């Protein structure tokens, strides 16, 4: 995110979710922009395997609850620009974010 110059000095509000937990209202707002809680959910989290979640059929409510309970389940970074949301660090997402910032 440093290379994109996303910081408080450039007008972005940063939230360290390990210090300031995500609220239910925030996750609901992100879900509306993303289209689902699943889109926000990280399957790369160590807890995903630890809790045996890969072998379970999770519902949208399950995704929301796990994200709220364990910050590790939120794909990061999440950047909201107006009515658009950019989730994760995959190359295509970062490229789309770079284009939106120009």
Note whether residue 86 is domain-resident: yes
Note whether residue 76 is domain-resident: yes
Q: How confident is the model at residue 84 (pLDDT cuts 50, 70, 90)?
A: very high
> What Cα–Cα distance (Å) separates residue 94 from each residue in 7, 16, 77?
15, 19, 10
pTM recorded for the entire structure: 0.87
Q: Is the pLDDT of residue 100 over 70?
A: yes
The 3-state secondary structure of 69-84, one letter per residue: HCHHHECCCEEEECCE
Note whether residue 33 is domain-resident: yes
Number of domains, the chain: 1
Give the CATH number of the domain where residue 58 resides: 3.40.30.10
Note whether residue 59 is domain-resident: yes
What number is the average pLDDT over the span 34-55? 95
Range of the domain at 58: 22-101
């Amino acid at each position: 995110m440093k290379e994109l110059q996303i910081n408080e000095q450039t007008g972005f509000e940063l939230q360290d979710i390990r210090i300031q937990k995500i609220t239910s209202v925030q996750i609901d707002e992100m879900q509306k922009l993303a289209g689902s809680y699943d889109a926000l959910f990280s399957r790369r989290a160590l807890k995903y395997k630890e809790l045996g979640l890969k072998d379970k059929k999770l519902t949208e409510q399950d995704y929301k609850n796990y994200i709220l309970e364990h910050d590790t389940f939120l794909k990061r970074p999440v950047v909201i620009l107006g009515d658009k949301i950019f989730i994760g660090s995959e190359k295509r997402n970062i490229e789309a974010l770079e284009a939106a910032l120009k």
